[in-house]
């Protein structure tokens, strides 16, 4: 077992697996879990991986992992069910209409092509082939209409090579970072580079950015493709809009390309924390009352199937869903929204109680002052 240290953490090699032990990096891509270099590792290292997968995805501890469900982003528009979750209904999901607590939001989904190894082990030719297959699909007429939404430009978007993103300064890098669509890309040593991304990094990799600037599709960065969509800047709690945008793109990609899928684990990824439907929500929330007791907030999130990380901003945390295995995409969205709305409700309740307590203290102080003033006047009258 060999290890090497860097500013992004320690990597411990377990034969063909790599374990990332983060230091001070606050990044959902490196949550301290194992990075899987190939599909076969899920079978070879099942004894090691299964407990981690069960724990992170909140799957039952005993018995077999249930079969993963088929993809289901939305209900049919023709559905007559009163509780139907059609595109129009889901698009209106808003966690924070007042924009008081939600500061930013991102939804991510990943896929890996069935006919190729994971990006960590791709040859130069395979990198070129996967890049060509994915970008051809992204620029197809069927996807163009979705990609062009929200923009007045003629083109649906632009594809940038990873070299263009990594160069400094880089305009596209700055735009992606501002929108919250930039992935972690900077290994600090050659050893880390090979462990995280493969020998040929950054060749054969890039990002397709939608013309509206709210959606990006990363190619061959840990997974063959990672679709990332952000919530509107003026309404960061509008998670339904970002989910619908991503869901439409994923539905076309799932129909046009063959992706690696397992009966139990769903769509396979290089990250065991991202399996099943691979849908991940990351919202930055301002919770000034709940963050006063970080331990209590962590527990509140844990029992609701949420993971939480600190940020550099005061009173602000990043909250994500844990489970995306053995559930549909729609169920993941519903569970996440329900849990986060509950957290926000607790924050509002604490804020209200504190406001009432402060108001009570002010009123009490005012009454004491009035009583003291009245007594003073009475005493003065008596002395006269």
State the average pLDDT over residues 332-346.
96
Better-scored residue on pLDDT, 327 or 8: 327
Q: How far is CA 213 from the centre of its chain?
A: 17
Please give the pLDDT value at position 199.
84
Q: List C-alpha distances in Å: 263 to 46, 64, 67, 329, 372.
A: 15, 12, 6, 16, 77
Residue 25 has pLDDT above 60, yes or no: no
- In the block, which residue shows the tokens 């009258």? 381
Q: What is the CATH number of the domain that holds 265?
A: 3.30.590.10
Residue 1 has pLDDT above 50, yes or no: no
CB 138 within 8 A of CB 146: no
CB 213 within 8 A of CB 230: no
Name the CA dihedral angle for 61, 118, 6, 313, rounded to a multiple of 10 degrees. -70
State the average pLDDT over residues 122-150.
92
CA–CA distance, 356 with 120 (Å, rounded to integer): 56
Please give the pLDDT value at position 78.
63
pLDDT, one tens digit per residue, over 227-272 is 999 999 999 999 999 999 999 999 999 999 999 999 999 999 999 9
Q: Does residue 372 lie in a domain region?
A: no
State the average pLDDT over residues 139-151.
85
Q: Does residue 36 lie in a domain region?
A: yes
Q: Does residue 382 lie in a domain region?
A: no
| All residues at 6 or more sequence positions from 124 whose CB lies less than 8 Å from its CB, including other chains | 200, 203, 204
CB 17 within 8 A of CB 34: yes
CA–CA distance, 121 with 118 (Å, rounded to integer): 6
Range of the domain at 43: 3-349
The DSSP secondary-structure symbol of 72 reads -
Angle, CA 337 vertex, CA 259 and CA 64 arms, to 5° = 50
**Three-state DSSP class for 309?**
strand
Q: Give the closest residue to 116 by CA, choosing from 100, 101, 127, 132.
A: 127
Better-scored residue on pLDDT, 122 or 79: 122
Beta bridge partners of 13: 18
State the average pLDDT over residues 178-206.
82
- Got the DSSP string for 215-263? EEEEEEESEEEEEEEE--TT-TT-HHHHHHHHHHHHHHHHHHS-B-EET
Number of domains into which the chain is organized: 1
**Please, which contacts does 251-256 make with residues 24 or more away whose CB atoms are closer than 8 Å?**
251/71, 251/73, 252/137, 252/140, 252/142, 252/143, 252/146, 253/111, 253/137, 253/143, 253/225, 253/227, 254/71, 254/111, 256/137, 256/140, 256/142
Please give the pLDDT value at position 7.
31
Please give the pLDDT value at position 30.
42
Please give the pLDDT value at position 19.
56
pLDDT, one tens digit per residue, over 267-318 is 999 999 999 999 999 999 999 999 999 999 999 999 999 999 999 999 999 9
């Amino acid at each position: 077992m060999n290890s090497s240290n860097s500013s992004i953490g320690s990597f411990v090699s377990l034969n063909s697996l790599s374990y990332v032990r983060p230091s001070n990096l606050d990044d959902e891509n490196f949550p301290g879990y194992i990075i899987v270099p190939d599909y076969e590792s899920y079978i070879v290292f099942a004894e090691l991986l299964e407990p981690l997968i069960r724990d992170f995805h909140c799957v039952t501890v005993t018995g077999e992992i249930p079969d993963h469900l088929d993809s289901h982003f939305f209900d049919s528009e023709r559905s007559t069910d009163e509780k139907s979750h059609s595109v129009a209904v889901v698009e209106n999901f808003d966690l924070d209409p007042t924009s008081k607590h939600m500061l930013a939001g991102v939804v991510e989904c990943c896929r890996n092509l069935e006919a190729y190894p994971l990006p960590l082990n791709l040859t130069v030719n395979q990198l070129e082939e996967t890049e060509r297959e994915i970008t051809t699909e992204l620029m197809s007429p069927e996807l163009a209409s979705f990609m062009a939404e929200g923009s007045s430009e003629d083109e649906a978007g632009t594809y940038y090579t990873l070299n263009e993103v990594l160069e400094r300064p880089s305009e596209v890098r700055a735009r992606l970072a501002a929108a919250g669509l930039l992935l972690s890309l900077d290994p600090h040593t050659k050893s880390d580079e090979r462990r995280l991304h493969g020998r040929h990094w950054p060749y054969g990799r890039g990002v397709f950015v939608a013309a509206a600037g709210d959606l990006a599709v990363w190619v061959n960065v840990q997974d063959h493709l990672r679709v990332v969509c952000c919530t509107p800047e003026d309404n960061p709690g509008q998670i339904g809009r970002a989910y619908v945008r991503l869901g439409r793109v994923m539905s076309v990609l799932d129909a046009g390309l063959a992706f690696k899928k397992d009966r139990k684990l769903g769509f396979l990824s290089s990250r065991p924390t991202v399996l099943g439907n691979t849908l991940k929500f990351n919202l930055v929330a301002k919770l000034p009352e709940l963050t006063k007791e970080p331990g209590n907030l962590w527990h509140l999130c844990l029992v609701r199937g949420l993971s939480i990380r600190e940020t550099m901003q005061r009173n602000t945390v990043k909250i994500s869903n844990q489970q995306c295995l053995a559930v549909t995409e729609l169920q993941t969205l519903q569970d996440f929204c329900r849990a986060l709305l509950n957290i926000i409700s607790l924050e509002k309740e604490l804020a209200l109680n504190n406001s009432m307590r402060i108001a009570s203290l002010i009123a009490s102080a005012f009454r004491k002052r009035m009583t003291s003033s009245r007594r003073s006047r009475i005493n003065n009258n008596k002395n006269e």
